[in-house]
Structure 1
């Protein structure tokens, strides 16, 4: 009986354990199914929310407070256009109101506002004035923007557009080599002033500050240790440029700049107008300094030597006197446009366009008889002390035989037709 009772109890306990295990397993399966269903629901909700955020939700950008800020154009519209005298126009824009209006006419095709714009377009006169103000003062874009009541990006856009338009369409009418008749007139005036015949222009170079690139920085460093472009120019007796080249970096020698220029490549196209001097046929020529080679169309002085004759010394002195026109032209150019003597914020690839624009504007002012204020010259001279010009490096190559013959003929002509002059340099 005891065995039967024990078996019954064991069976009962086994059954109870089986039922408990089955219930536990069922609960676990239910929990697993619920867990999967919950995770699936979360993933679906997450995917739906992501889709809504990416495709339907608004972008989380900064709220724009206003479409255009209110800026005052009172200084330009009321003070400048209505109250400025010619002296004030020259002080701020380097030319009188009459000349300014004429310049606006030249720039009308390239700088006029578009017909269809979102906002009221800035008029042509204001665009030209902004560019001239920048070139004459080299002020920051922010300062000019506050002065004219526009944004600084607008100032930069107008300055770049003005220079590009000047270089592309206007500069060729303001800077060009003289034709035969004009060349003869230039030579006559040079001879009347300095006794040397057949001079059609003077050539020299000056260094213009530039913001150089990080790569190739050393190429722009001149001998005085500051980065620059070399501006090579030829001027006539009225201080107007008729040829310029401003694409070579500051490390280049003047003779190398000449050989890389259009002037050198097309020298045979210059007016000849030969004239018999001391038995030698002498064409029109350009005066240079010791940095340039002696050619049949480019004259320079005799090299300093104890063996220089009085006649040669007199020739050197007359030549130096004639070349003062070059110094005066560069002085007037930089006095008007101070952007050429300050470290500007233009990109180095755009700086040649700025230089060419200033040269064209210089010619425009000279044509319109616009005077240079002595205060501008004094200020420019003070600024140039901070960036002194490199000295002249003499040309080390050989001179042409034709050039030597012409220089000797000119020396004999001066000896026969002009009193000997002793150099004071």
Structure 2
């Protein structure tokens, strides 16, 4: 069953749906289950028609015929599987106050383009060769935060820019529709426009650039960092899709007119599998972050940004930056007062502060967030440098350890003396 890329119950449930809709029927010699199995072996494991024919004791003609039959059937079923499931703000956002909420309230997913290998006639190779060294089709996909594909547009030449593909999707009568007041996250290859919120350009964005405690230094970097953490949903979905259906990562051996349909069918099957529980081909978020994938887009959409949404992005970024330091924790007072006492003996403060971090942790406070407020002052520099050197690799320098009331009392007593 592993070659079918789904569990046994999910496979038989799909067969029942196709039979119920009248999209596939049992023939005298080939059942619906066998027809679907032939198809999944080809798209899932990248087996050739001849390999499947030998493995299933069928002729090459039979395998080819039923491959196309199943392809047409699932394309017709795709509209029941690829759709927007909810326009409410996802729990991933609402359950992360002060990080994603309320800043990304109204965000219902992320969109991006990906390049899928294609096989085209020699006369068309130049049109399909873009940022890759081989011919590709540029596929636009929209994904919600549960990794379901909610819209897919396939078939564009690899030389087409992502913004052009998006414009086509928005202009089609049955194309991408963005509910009023909602928006999607996009990368810097897209312009800010109604319902599309990309990050700031020419500022650090990708997660790798914030690795090893390289915290955001300004409001644009802070916005980009959190934007990137949310938008990687679409990157994870692409990774899971290509991991499950190997035909998308290899040069296809099917006619050009069928290649775009295969992409849509794979996205529909991806959603079908997710609807029935976790998919073994989808990495969990911590595992995905360890790989820290980054977008391959290197060309920006040069259309003028929509002023209203550019202003919305500025407002969100400013609110994030203000809220980062506007808490009533005792540690706020520590950093505020530290700016007025640049000549306090460094070793005494650092030793007492770090001792309290290790031995006493009564309140959960993001240490580095607050110390960044005084980063340009001598005290902030002393503390962050000391922690980075002494506790690197233990989690303290990543800002996940805590600092409690005891540290406040100890440091304040040193200043009083």
Please report the TM-score for the alignment, with normalisation by the length of structure 1: 0.66
Pair 1:268–1:343, CA change in 2 (3 A): closer
Aligned pair 1:175/2:82, yes or no? Answer: yes
Shift in alpha-carbon separation, 1:174–1:325, aligned structure 2, 3 A = same
Offset of 1:285 from its aligned partner? 0.5
Cα gap change, 1:92 to 1:257, in 2 (>3 Å): same
Distance 1:365 1:247, change over 3 A: same
Are 2:13 and 1:102 aligned? yes
Can you list the C-alpha shifts for 1:87-133, whole angstroms capped at 9, x where unaligned? xx2x211111110011101221112135xxxxx32011111111111
Q: Give me the whole-angstrom Cα distance separating, in 2, the residues matched to 1:206 and 1:270.
A: 20
Aligned residue in 1 for 2:200: 302
Whole-angstrom CA distance in 2 between matches of 1:374 and 1:238: 11
**8 Å contact from structure 2 (residues 89, 105) kept in 1:** no
Q: Alignment partner of 1:107: what SS? A: helix
Kindly report which structure 2 residues correspond to 1:121-132, keeping only aligned pairs within 5 A, or say none.
121-132=29-40
Instruction: Tell whether the 8 Å contact from 1:292 to 1:395 is kept in structure 2 after alignment.
Output: yes
Q: Deviations over 1:340-365 (max 9, x none)?
A: 00111011111000000000001111
Q: Which has the larger radius of gyration?
A: 1
- 1:250 deviation in Å? 0.4
- Unmatched segments (≥5 aa) in structure 2: 205-215, 284-293, 326-368, 373-397, 399-417
CA shift in 2, pair 1:358/1:296, >3 Å? same
Q: Please point out which of 41, 46, 60 is paired with 1:133.
A: 41
Q: Name the counterpart of 2:243.
A: 335
Task: Indicate how the Cα distance of structure 1 residues 263 and 418 shifts in structure 2: closer, same or farther if over 3 A, else same.
Answer: farther
Q: Which one has more relative contact order, counting CA pairs under 8 Å at least 6 apart? A: 1
1:271-310 to structure 2, matched below 5 A, reads: 271-272=179-180, 283-305=181-203, 310=218
Distance 1:268 1:157, change over 3 A: closer
Pairs aligned (count): 301
1:177, distance to aligned residue in structure 2 (A): 2.5
Using the TM superposition, give the Cα deviation of residue 304 of structure 1 relative to its aligned residue in structure 2, in angstroms. 1.5
CA distance in 1, matches of 2:82, 2:232: 20
Residues in 1 aligned to 2:130 and 2:109: alpha-carbon distance in whole angstroms: 26
Summarize deviations over 1:262-306 as a string: whole Å, max 9, x none: 47767895322xxxxxxxxxx211000111110131001111259
- Alignment CA distance shift 1:315-1:371 (3 Å): same
Residue 401 and residue 309 in structure 1: after superposition, are their counterparts in 2 closer, same or farther (change >3 A)? farther
Contact 1:136-1:336 at 8 Å conserved across structures = yes
Match of 1:413?
319
Asked if 1 retains the 8 angstrom alpha-carbon contact of 2:151 and 2:176, the reply is no
Superposition deviation, residue 409 in structure 1: 2.2
C-alpha displacement of 1:415 = 3.0
**Structure 2: distance between partners of 1:267 and 1:136:** 28
> Once superposed, which parts of structure 1, at least 4 consecutive aligned residues long, lie more than 4 Å away?
262-269, 416-422
Counterpart Cα distance in 2 of 1:299 and 1:185 = 15
Q: Mapping of 1:79-94 within 5 angstroms?
A: 89=1, 91-94=2-5
Give me the CA root mean square deviation.
2.6
**1:416 offset after TM fit, Å?**
4.4
Structure 1 residues 418, 145: closer, same or farther in 2, change over 3 A? farther
Matches of 2:219 and 2:243, distance apart in 1 = 37
Question: Are positions 1:190 and 2:96 aligned together?
Answer: no
What's the offset of the Cα at 1:414?
Answer: 2.2
Structure 1 residues 314 and 389: alpha-carbon distance in aligned structure 2, compared to 1, 3 A threshold = closer
CA contact (8 A) 1:220 1:249 kept: yes
Alignment of 1:223 onto 2:131: yes
Deviations 1:194-245 (A, max 9, x none): 5132211100111111111233221111222210111110101111100111
Cα shift at 1:406: 1.3
1:395 to 290, 298, 301: 301
Indicate how the Cα distance of structure 1 residues 407 and 154 shifts in structure 2: closer, same or farther if over 3 A, else same. Answer: same
**In structure 2, C-alpha distance between the alignment counterparts of 1:246 and 1:190, rounded to whole Å:** 29
Equivalent-residue separation in structure 2 for 1:246 and 1:212 (angstroms): 15
